[in-house]
Amino acid sequence: MLIRKMKPEDVPQAAEIEQECFSQPWSEKVYHETLENSASCYLVAETEDNLQDGGIHKIIGTCGFMNVLGEADVSNVAVKKDYRGSGIAYAMMLELIYAGKMAGVETFFLEVRASNTPAIRTYEKCGFQTKGIRRAFYEQPPEDALIMRLESDQTEKTEINRS
């Protein structure tokens, strides 16, 4: 598996993963607009040996953030169903945290469905802590979100685990 910055040509596969993972997925248009924003950093995980038709690497996961004044809003952490449970989200998050730190991010925030135990465990493994709840944050189906935060000074442990 290779984790790298998302390119415009990755957008169709990223949008397909969104459709599979989220009840209100981003469109290709939103991904393209986001990639054009200099405050964004989006990554993909791709297989290195499993090429699709036409020689395009298969994208199996995505994640990213928007950096506003040193605060990163993490979003779109998604892994194709067939690849879940194999550490891909964790590996992507470590790379995302590293990229954020290199871009001057001091604090990372994210929201996660309160019932998404595997994701919560992954974020906690990366050093995120639950700081609050957003009631009825999600629709389709309605659900609360946990607000999780990671301070940049807490990433020393994360960077050691990254290597």
How many CB atoms lie under 10 A from the CB of residue 82? 9
Q: Please check whether residue 44 is in contact with residue 79, taking contact to mean a CB–CB distance below 8 angstroms.
A: no
Dist CA 106 CA 71 (whole Å)? 6
Of 31, 42, 123, 138, the catalytic one is 123
Count of beta carbons in the 10 Å neighbourhood of residue 77: 21
Q: How many CA atoms lie within 13 A of 70 on its CB side?
A: 6
Q: Is 123 noted as a catalytic residue in this protein? A: yes
Contact assessment for residue 92 and residue 102, using Cβ atoms and an 8 Å cutoff? no
Eight-state DSSP code of residue 152: G
Q: Which of 31, 42, 111, 138 is catalytic?
A: 111
31 is catalytic: no
CB-side exposure of 121: number of CA atoms within 13 Å?
A: 6
Characterize the bridge pairing of strands 107-113 and 71-79. Answer: parallel
Helix (H) or strand (E) holding 113: strand 107-113
- Which residues belong to the active site? 111, 123
